[in-house]
Amino acid sequence: MTIIYDTSFIDVNLAGQKIFPTNLNDNEDTTQKLEILSRPLSGRNIQHLVNNLEQNGLGYRIDTNVLSQIAINTNLQNSHLFINLTNSSLHKININNIISKLDNIKGIVTLEISESYHGWRHDECLNSIMLLKELGYSIAIDDFSNNYKFSLDELNQIKPDYIKIDKDCFTTLSEKRLQHLIATLRKHVTESNILIEGVSSKHLLDKAAFVGANYIQGYFLHTPELISSPVKLEIF
């Protein structure tokens, strides 16, 4: 096994970015939704770090540490948290440990399945996603336009609670093409909420509403805020 870094730990800040209903005046959706973000203090790119760890099947260690920190953070207990899972967390050898870490926060989390192929084992990981759904966990498909892991039939099988459309897709596609994409998704995955990322201006806020998104996220609405003091994550 190749060890990429010369340390067994990485210091990170955990931040949260709020997610809003597209209708900002919706008084029925009152539970605060937060995507949990890990920000290494060293300036390392978190995605590069995860990709390197996943080459050795170790990305799940970040997940277990983050989940442990969230479980003891009493300030988050009244929020609904969107948490990214690495692919190795979905490996058969690791999924039961991940489920045990999730047990104390089961009712307040949505688990995001990334677009990354690092460490992806299709049948094995799909089985773990289905297990999580059977256990009652909310699932989100992250960065859908770049997430080619699943066919429409598999998405219908998973029945994700959220499908996230990434910033590049949202800002690049015309309103007409976005409407067609969202209509196709809703035809095949009728239960899913469409969540658009990258809403960084009033114009994009209006665009997200026009194309029919259920939820929105971006710097125009909320800048990520620290939700913990720096924590030390064990990665090796």
What's the pTM? 0.91
For 34, phi and psi rounded to 5 degrees?
A: -130, 130
Coil, helix or strand at residue 218:
coil
pLDDT at 147: 67
Residue 109 has pLDDT above 50, yes or no: yes
Distance between CA atoms of 98 and 116, rounded to whole angstroms?
19
**Structural domains present in the chain:** 9-234 (3.20.20.450)
Distance between CA atoms of 26 and 29, rounded to whole angstroms?
6
Distance between CA atoms of 190 and 112, rounded to whole angstroms?
18
Burial of 111 (0-12, 13-18, 19+ CB in 10 A): buried
Distance between CA atoms of 197 and 218, rounded to whole angstroms?
6
* Mean pLDDT value of segment 197-212: 97
Specify the long-range contacts of residues 146-151, CB closer than 8 Å, at least 24 apart.
146/115, 147/113, 147/114, 147/115, 148/115, 149/113, 149/115, 149/117, 149/120, 149/122, 150/126
Task: Report the largest interatomic distance among the alpha carbons of the chain, rounded to a whole angstrom.
Answer: 52
Beta strand pairing call for 9-21 and 225-226? antiparallel
Residue 3 has pLDDT above 50, yes or no: no
pLDDT tens readout for residues 55-77: 888 889 889 989 988 988 888 88
Distance of CA 4 to the CA centre of its chain: 25
Full DSSP string of 30-92: -SEEEEEEEEETT---HHHHHHHHHHTT-THHHHHHHHHHHHT-GGGTTEEEEEEE-GGGGSH
* Mean pLDDT value of segment 168-184: 95
Confidence of residue 5 (pLDDT cuts 50, 70, 90): very low
- Name which of 84, 3, 6, 7 is nearest 39 in CA terms: 84
Q: Inter-axis angle of helices 92-102 and 60-71, to 10 degrees?
A: 10
